Structure 1
């Protein structure tokens, strides 16, 4: 029986930001050569209702005895994250999910892995991100359909653990996002972290190198947890962001105050913009006086995706 935290975690995963929806653990079928295009998006309110319904289906008891909690170690390889689970009972939820992915999903090679803050259902081990097998497997998993939907369309190819990486990863560099995902889709991203000096003094070359390494490692850890994370290197500081959003996610001119479920989920998971892992105390805009009530921790914020 799932507790409240697990139900919330699975529902959040269904809202999708670089995570395949747990609703994917239903009846699967492989796509025909010519698939119909997915239906046009509905309003955010309708989307939320639909995601709630799908999450309820996932949380229904699974018939049959689940297999043991089989885990493996892919820390030295690239791998595909199909579904990520968080919360206190993530191990139990992931174990039950693995049964469905292997049987109904037709992926007997899928496996569990505990990463930083999540337990993921993953697939494959690849030496390089451009390995033809990795690209073919990723396309196959993303193309799986259930009830005319593609619930794993947001499956991610994730990098090895930071200790196995040497040098920068262009796949996670925010400057490459528009080229990889399209200019129209890549308008905004949510900034959640800054690395660099916390004072106004000029950064040394060692400071800059340390900040860049920390930002890249943070982005890798988030990506391995199923987050669509990126790093961006400025002159003296480095930033970490999550998600790629377009006009359908945030349109202050035509739909002020309305944001997509994916963006809302990103804000809920990452409410703050951290400096070297710590909250940034700032004055609330427009607040009067000088008491503690006029200060807050700086929230995460949408920023523009830069050109290459």
Structure 2
């Protein structure tokens, strides 16, 4: 019996890490990038030096720029930036019709104000789809360090199949049918991670970060529950677990970006910071829902340059006293 084949769309650090760890566990993996120069470099060097240097590709990882090769897979992991997912599926997605799709991005689309599951369902309504999210860094996954993630899928049969296909001895997947909660937990924690970074970059201290994380989590839960999520999802891996990781580690791009904002230093514009766009999208969604989300609103204003740090801090600290 031949090994299952998995397609990974997007050769960033996370997509590369998933490709490597799945291949080590015996899968045949096709790793896709639209950048043909990147594909040639990865084929020649057998590593992704630009995104995950030092991690050697197993023999059963093939690198391709042909989407037709990905379409032959039993499942396709979409490891693309959230703001690029809709465009990719609109222009290239037809080749993946009827393939099970797993979105590995975290965020809210700026134009539709929806998460990845809605975008996949609209673009390819005949394809089973799920969302993979939770506390994880690409470097840890690639090194084979133990990692637990949430696989969110509304259909139990599809979810069980994907859980078996993607799980490895070091990558443990927990399944849920609460796609809304899993998506929003993964998206909103990036916004709070930026805010936590701002606090630390501005030198406000660990106590302030703890307070920010706690109030940020309350804000996450308020929006998610309003949109139909379940409380236990927000308190699980895809919510609280991911929040703790990204608010406390400099491996988090969102946290590092927030630190740069707080310290008033520059940040590499080539680095994808999902929480920046998500803050804008969720701020707009909160206005639409008439929902008070002060941390998200502050982050969106800081990212846009509509608010300076001193004013942002003063605005938060001067809010009316109330019950927790």
| Structure 1 length-normalised TM | 0.32
Higher helix share: 2
Normalized per residue, which structure has more strand? 1
